[in-house]
Amino acid sequence: MINHAHPFDYHSRPATNSPAAHEPAPSAAQTPGNGLLSPPVPFDAMASDASYVVMDEHGRVLCVQHDATWNWAYLGDFSDYHRQVLHFAVSASRVDDKTELAVANKDKSWHLFADHGPWIYASTASWPHYRRLQLRFANMDPDTYQFTLLAGNHQALGAEGGRWNYLQLTTPEHATRFTLHRYYVLGHDLAELIGKTWPEAQLNITHEMRPPYQGISSDHALQILRDSKLAGYEYRKGSFDNNDFAFVYKAQASLDAYRTHAPIPYAVGWVEGFNGTDSSAANMFLDLNGRLNILEPHGARISAASDWPFTASRILI
């Protein structure tokens, strides 16, 4: 990967302005993803506070490599590139041709940009001197839930065929057809993932074996925390400790799923852990990249589950 100080350095970029001319292929994951993608989400079931994966008609999802401040956006096979998937949120609860899509991944907001050429790159930086793309639904099909994404009055998103290929601007007539999907994992697979995270622990996991659980983004997890109003409560040993913070958060996640008519429950749980003679409780959630995360509602901290300084002993999902 060639990293420039500026995303399009006119002194070092190739004359073709094509990522294929100087960029290696994205690195595929060594192992398959831990989860699956739902069937296409109907337009009337989309929620403005949920996160979605964008898939094209060839089964490829919209991705970007995360190893630099910016990188070329591409469409790639979900199983191979699940760790680099970008996630989208709709800007309104009622989806129509005026609705825009916002881009995120893990704990960061991303933006799509274009220069004078057709190629599209993604970045967590703002790059004010370059054109930021505002994606809008178009040509929505109520039968297949497919749509195209406009990036201007006469430009849309598209990509050539193959297992992966770079994303570019094209005419609306040649645009790629997309659908939105939720990320989920089956109950027994979620339990297996938890077991691999704490392989030495004697875990007591309460969950449904067969039904699926829906992953949520870190942004969504923090929104649930804000809705819980827990920031207005103080820790009180015995009467309102980490256990209580975590139980309230777990209940708020269930209320959020109810309010948004989620078809399957969130992969959000209460977890208790020990570290020597100390114990603590927090919340666990599966994100849209198939990673387990710990959210500590008293302090609003998110970390990888494997980095939690406690070994899980009891989990309720």
Residues 6+ apart with CB under 8 A from 151: 112, 114, 133, 134, 135, 136, 157, 169
* 284 within some domain: yes
**Total number of domains in the chain:** 2
Same domain, yes or no, for 33 and 173? Answer: yes
Calculate the CA dihedral of residues 255, 258, 263, 268 and round it to 10 degrees: 0
Q: How far apart are CA 313 and CA 315, in angstroms?
A: 7
Domain boundary among 148, 181, 214: 181
Task: Give the Cα separation of 60 and 243 in Å (integer).
Answer: 41
* 203 and 311 belong to one structural domain: yes
Give tens-digit pLDDT for 80-137. 887 788 888 888 778 888 888 887 665 567 889 987 789 998 888 888 888 889 999 9
| Per-residue model confidence (pLDDT) at position 9 | 43
Whether residues 162 and 192 fall in one domain: no
156 domain residue, yes or no: yes
Q: Is position 168 within any domain? A: yes
From 114-123, 162-171, 201-210, 269-278, the region with the lowest mean pLDDT: 201-210
- Same domain (yes/no): 169, 24: yes
- 153 and 243 in a common domain: no
Q: What is the total residue count of the chain?
A: 317
pLDDT digits over 236-280, tens only? 988 898 999 999 999 999 999 888 777 788 999 999 999 888 889
129 & 215 share domain:
no
pTM equals: 0.72
| 3-state secondary structure (DSSP) of residue 202 | coil
Residues 163 and 190 both lie in one domain: no
Q: For residues 135 and 152, what is the distance between their CA atoms, to the nearest angstrom?
A: 8
Q: Does 218 reside within a domain?
A: yes
Residue 12 resides in a domain: no
Q: Of 128, 150, 181, at which residue does a domain stop?
A: 181
pLDDT of residue 270: 94
- Asked whether residue 167 falls in the same domain as residue 238, the answer is no
pLDDT of residue 30: 57
Residues 148 and 192 in one domain: no
3-state helix, strand, coil in the chain (%, to 5): 20, 35, 45
Q: How confident is the model at residue 13 (pLDDT cuts 50, 70, 90)?
A: very low
Residues 136 and 194 in one domain: no
**What CATH number has the domain bearing residue 194?**
3.30.460.70
Domain of residue 278 covers: 183-316
> Above 80 in pLDDT, residue 316?
yes
CA–CA distance, 77 with 239 (Å, rounded to integer) = 49
Exposure string over 239-278, b if 16+ CB within 10 A, otherwise e = eeebebbbebbbebbeebbeebebeebbbbbbbbbeeeee
In a domain, 102, yes or no: yes
Q: What local confidence, expressed as pLDDT, does residue 179 receive?
A: 96
Domain termination residue (choose one: 166, 181, 196):
181
